[in-house]
Amino acid sequence: MKLVLAIVQDNDVNMLMDDLVDNKFSVTKLSTSGGFLKEGNTTLLLGVEEDRLDKCLEVIEANSKRRKTTTSIINASGQAALFNSLPVEIEIGGATIFILDVEQFIKL
């Protein structure tokens, strides 16, 4: 048995959870935040049998694609503390996945 912790962007989570449930995976959703943009993301917890781990990762990958977006960053110049907003293209999406061994799994 494995514990899969998948951190995905909020924009991807609804379709991902639907696909996981359609494939008979039990999933627990935790709302989280952090990262470079301080935007919301979601951490999914899944207890997965080892023989189904590859299918679980396949479903996560299919629903958590990376994409480019533009955001603004603040650039403080050295003269009179003038602030400029600079657009910058960044890559978002995808998933960060941790896979842990589970000694015991109990469902009450």
DSSP tag of 51:
G
With 80 as the cut, is the pLDDT of residue 10 above it?
Answer: yes
- Helix (H) / strand (E) containing 41: strand 39-48
Q: Where are the domains of the chain?
A: 2-101
- The CATH architecture annotation of domain 2-101 reads 2-Layer Sandwich (3.30)
Q: What is the pTM of this model?
A: 0.75
Q: CA–CA separation, 51 vs 2, rounded Å? A: 10
For residue range 68-83, what is the model confidence (pLDDT) as tens digits?
767 666 665 555 455 5
Q: What is the pLDDT of residue 5?
A: 97
